[in-house]
Structure 1
Amino acid sequence: MSKTSKTGWERLAKLNDGDIDTSDISELGEDFFRRTELRVPVKQAVTIRLDADVVEWFKGQDAGYQTRINQFLRQYMQAKQG
């Protein structure tokens, strides 16, 4: 079963911040930030063997290539779960 987005991403990408109607979104008050806590996911160091060209490609995309590899693996994991 294929999931097709009905969101007009191209149209949204062309919008300026001022063009977006946020009037139905409540402002977050001081109480929200007082009760909020930051939860950083626990990372586990692992050794993994990847093809050299794959590693070089990710490194060439910008800083943070390990984070990007993690994001791709997470997307794959979530696709297999759902």
Structure 2
Amino acid sequence: MRTRITNKDGEVRELTDQDVKQMRPMSEVLPANLQRTIGQRGKQHAPTKVKTSIRLSPEVIEHFKGEEGEGWQRRIDQALKQYIREHGHG
């Protein structure tokens, strides 16, 4: 008998080694148009961001990387958007 991996609210519990062993390959469960390599982004319909280079102080980088690390550039983007909302467009 299989143990459910979600609770009554639909939250996924921590997976066990046995859960992982029972998983089927992505190619068996997803249509081909949804299969991607891990980390590969889907087709971008319109550029959502502009690539740029900026020099920031080590304290700023350390603050936004924090303990999580991943997503630090997104957090800087969100902080700058918040600044614009609070201070206007110039």
Normalising by structure 2, what TM-score? 0.42
Structure having greater relative contact order (Cα 8 Å, sep ≥ 6): 1
TM-score normalised to structure 1 length: 0.45
- Higher helix residue share: 1
Bigger-Rg structure (1/2): 2
